[in-house]
Amino acid sequence: MKKLILIFIFVTQVSWGSSIQGQWLGGGGVGLILGPTLVMLSPQLEYVYKTDVTFGSLAQMGFLGDGVLFTVSGTYRRVLGEERAKIRPTFEGGLGLALASSLYASSVGVHIMAGGGIEYVYDKNLTLGSMLRLNFAPPLKSMFVSWPMVIARFKL
């Protein structure tokens, strides 16, 4: 009986982490922007199109002293791997607008982003992860890397 209860708890815990079509996910990350190095916050709002595909918006805000870099983008995120797995690879892409302070050649630019990382399904309402994003923002800056070291996503 104990084994059946443990198996039931394990199976339901794993399956709770999967996103349900039509739900909204909120989240945010804390990390760094490199080139130059800035402390970064990255709030995100996503709509679950399919259990492994979301569409949404992402803001990346980098701060340090007089330097400020801000991007806002529409995003596409794809989660790979088996739906019941606790650890899954994720890929993300986006297109939007970048704004910056006088640290950069221009104050406004186009923003193109591509990233990859992993997420860990903590429970039915929360995933934790990390992602490395390559950002292109001409003419503002040719390329910079953003690394939200910890990203939390939760069902709204």
**What's the confidence (pLDDT) of residue 34?**
85
**What's the confidence (pLDDT) of residue 103?**
67
Burial 70-95, CB ≥16 within 10 A → b, else e: ebebebbbebeeeeebeebebebbbe
Domain boundaries, the chain: 2-155
Q: What parts of the chain have a pLDDT lower than 50?
A: 6-17
CATH of region 2-155, choose from 2.30.40.10, 3.90.550.10, 3.90.79.10, 2.40.160.20: 2.40.160.20
Residue pair 96/73 in contact (Cβ under 8 Å)? The answer is yes
Residue pair 64/91 in contact (Cβ under 8 Å)? The answer is no
**What's the confidence (pLDDT) of residue 1?**
55
Q: pTM score, two decimals?
A: 0.81
**What's the confidence (pLDDT) of residue 88?**
93
